Amino acid sequence: MSVLKSDSLPLRSEQDIVHARQAVRKLSQELAFSIVDQTKMVTAASELARNTLIYGGGGVLAWAVILDGARKGLRLEFSDQGPGIPDLALALKDGWTSGSGLGMGLSGAKRLVNDFDIWSEVGKGTRVTITRWK
């Protein structure tokens, strides 16, 4: 697997969530994703960016356009150095929330992408990686 291009964006404010959505929309268009796939990826990014900001206390979105054999994909990595998630299995359940959200963020975002990976350690932070393939 090779990285064709990559960059990162800060996730420190609500406006940064909007910027993240716009960046992901642009990248999805460049990769010629279908409208539905673009919308899914942008929506997943919005959910995860908000999690990073609200629960992680802010962090970074690192994106990469990747090539795996003949297929291209968009990989997004949301990371923070926040409190971490004590019970990952619980956090991935539909309808579960520790905050004021609907509890759809993590589980919902997972359903909207092809690959989903989460790492979290209490006191260290959380990193969620998602990929959608063309």
The alpha carbon of 15 is separated from its chain's Cα centroid by a whole number of angstroms, namely 16
Token output for 110: 């997972």
CB of 5 to another protein, least distance (A): 23
Q: Report d(CA 89, CA 133) in Å as an integer.
A: 25
Binding of residue 81 to another protein (CB under 8 A): no
Q: Measuring CA to CA, which residue among 3, 1, 8, 4 is closest to residue 79?
A: 8
Binding of residue 98 to another protein (CB under 8 A): no
DSSP string covering 37-96, please?
HHHHHHHHHHHHHHHHHHTTSSEEEEEEEEEETTEEEEEEEEEE-SS--S-HHHHTSTT-
Nearer to another protein, 30 or 68 (CB): 30
Binding of residue 52 to another protein (CB under 8 A): no
Residue 29 burial (CB count, 10 A): 11
Span from 57-65, 71-79, 96-104, 122-130 in contact with another protein (CB under 8 A):
96-104
Binding of residue 105 to another protein (CB under 8 A): yes
CB of 113 to another protein, least distance (A): 10
CB of 2 to another protein, least distance (A): 29
State the residues that interact with another protein by CB under 8 A: 14-15, 17-18, 21-22, 25, 35-36, 38-40, 42-43, 46-47, 50, 94, 101-102, 104-105, 107-109, 111-112
